[in-house]
Chains A and B, each alone.
Chain A
Amino acid sequence: MPRRSYLIASAVVVLLLALLPLAGSRHAVDLTTEVMIYALFALSLNVLVGYTGNVSFGHAAYFAIGGYTCAILLTTHGWPLVLAMPAAVLLAGLVAGVVGFFCVRLTQIYFAMLTLAFAMLVWGVAFKWKEVTGGDDGLTGVKLPAMLANHVNYFYFTLVSVAIAIAALWVICHSAFGLTLVAVRENNVRAGFIGVDTRRMRWAAFTVAGAFGGLAGALFGMYHRGMYIENAFWTESAQVLIMVLLGGLYSFVGPIIGAAVLHLLQVFTNQYTPYWPTVLGLILLVIVLVLPDGLVGLVNRFKGRGRRS
């Protein structure tokens, strides 16, 4: 059944990626590292947006918390990586748990606004807490273990981390929990009447999304050897949301595809013109006006399948 072909396809993709450094240029390796990080970031957001139908406009906050925490623990406090990374994920998940507690009391646009507001608070703290975060100069010179200093090694490190995280997310999204989340998304009222505490389910999804977003942030900060307040800004939240939408929010792989396409397009566009925002704006118009199910939805439409997973 599709589950097995999924598994084989994923194994092939991981294998091909593992071979990349042997064949590809340094540029290709770096680009792929970035794409993998963004893919995880987008996928983490989709647990919330795609699976529960709650649109977060503040997901960059957890990315930033993960990134800053990991970077600060490594650099300022000299923690070993094996502690700094889990701590970053934990803190991102914890903050998401607290923020989520308040946000899931609301729905729809009110929910989106509140997530945005909390995220801007995180941004404000990153901006103003100069002694710890470096403020608007950013936090630079992140210390990495010598083993990861090499870009190829870091590529493999990212590949393994992201592959494990995506596998974990796959299990979560296809679990009884994930299926119930879809039910909550599809009909919140009915889900309540089969005995599901819908608010707590949404809260849990919010927390899971935050924790995995934090992991993506930690990988990002180490890769760039720095975190910057722009990483916490609301435009970053918008960008990851666009990745999810571009790929397709009702499928598991959609956000991965969206992240890859959008990031590569951005890098490509920036080589030729400073007007990336215009390109992104036009992409967004296309999504909003003609492609609400994203690229995966488009493919499914061609295949004539109405099913959503």
Chain B
Amino acid sequence: MTTTMFTLNAFYGLALAMNMFIIASGLNLIFGVLRVINFAHGMFYMFGAYIIFTVTKSWGAPFFVGVLASAAGLAVIALVIERLLLRHLYGKEHLMQLLFTFAVVLLMSDAAKMIWGTDQYSVGYPAGLGGAVNLGFVVLPQYQLFLCVVGPLIAIAMWLLVDKTRAGRIVRAATQDREMLAALGVNVPMVYAAVFTIGSALAGVGGALAAPRVALVPGMDATIINECFIIVIIGGLGHMWGSFVGALAFGFVVQFGTVWAPNWQDVLPYLLMLAVLIVRPWGLFGQPESGR
């Protein structure tokens, strides 16, 4: 493999990783605070992609308005789901929460079919980002370059939010000890609602940003949710930087897998995850669950 090819593949891997991180970080945030594995996260991603399609193609709005619309749309959907139904399940068994989110998947998949049908759609690159940058030895597409900038920005923003603000401290405390938090007078239900909304909006943003890269078809949710699971499991459930590392590992393995083992690139991430889990059952950055 030439330097040019290597750089190009590494770059595509990075862009994929960053797009995946944006999506997976939302799933991870929700798990970290609510301890709910949200199977509907992939569906939220798909809705994000469909919404930007409608907003940009049918209504002719600019791309970034579409991204905002996706974020806002998913925030609203998530808030309704959380306030109406999910909040009744916090005290219950994990199995019930898991199946609840699966019910959301089923209902939203049919809703998507009713709204958008089963045709395949595509979304164009945003104005000004459809070209390429020539670095001399390699030509890099602008949109992927843009993803490589946005991903770390979101990571840093989340880190600042969670580590440096009062709201973030509350969220972090919520991951540690819920009763204590309530005892301190924090409105725990509001924290949960906010986290679920923000996490889901990230899926919307991730879906919108992925739209120019992928085909919009029914079933795109099922693949992405598995990939998100791989990423957060590799990094350690609930660990933000773990997801970042997990996303990087995922991106590179998929991209280079496509080149070196073109038949098996879909299986490689699972093998990577299993290798990690055999050595570290709770993921790279994860902590053993406390025996309560």
Contacts and interface: CB of A to CB of B under 8 A. Distances in A.
A150 to B, nearest CB: 37
A288 B100 contact: yes
Interface in B226-240: 226, 229-230, 233, 237
B96 interface: yes
Nearest to B283: A110
Nearest to A277: B106
Interface stretch (A70-78, A164-172, A237-245): A237-245
Contacts of B277: 102, 114, 117
B145 interface: no
A14 interface: no
Contacts of A124: 266-267, 270
B104 interface: yes
Interface in A136-166: none
Interface residues of B, number: 41
Interface stretch (A28-36, A210-218, A279-287): A279-287
A242 B230 CA distance: 23
Contact of B267 (A107, A125, A234): A125
Contacts of A105: 281
A113 interface: yes
A292 B94 contact: no
Nearest to B286: A110
Contact of A128 (B37, B99, B106, B267): B267
A55 B98 CA distance: 10
Contact of A277 (B37, B92, B110, B271): B110
Contacts of A284: 99-100, 102-103, 106
Contact of B110 (A57, A112, A275): A275
A116 interface: yes
A233 B273 CA distance: 18
A108 B270 contact: no
Contacts of B95: 49, 55, 112, 241, 245
A112 B94 contact: yes
Contacts of B110: 275, 277-278, 281
Interface string B11-35: 0000000000000000000000001
A118 B277 CA distance: 11
Interface string B41-62: 0000000000000000000000
Contact of A117 (B233, B266, B282): B233
Contacts of A265: none
B100 A108 contact: no
Interface in B77-110: 85, 88-89, 92-96, 98-100, 102-107, 109-110
B222 A233 contact: yes
A117 B85 contact: no
A57 B98 contact: yes
Given A107-B289, A108-B94, 20 more contacts: A55-B94, A57-B98, A105-B281, A108-B289, A112-B94, A114-B277, A117-B229, A117-B230, A125-B267, A128-B263, A128-B266, A245-B95, A277-B106, A278-B110, A281-B103, A281-B105, A281-B110, A284-B99, A284-B106, A287-B99
30 contacts: A49-B95, A102-B281, A108-B289, A109-B35, A109-B37, A110-B237, A110-B281, A110-B282, A112-B95, A112-B98, A113-B237, A114-B277, A117-B274, A117-B277, A121-B270, A121-B274, A128-B266, A233-B222, A241-B95, A241-B99, A242-B102, A245-B95, A280-B103, A280-B106, A281-B110, A284-B99, A285-B85, A285-B100, A289-B100, A292-B96
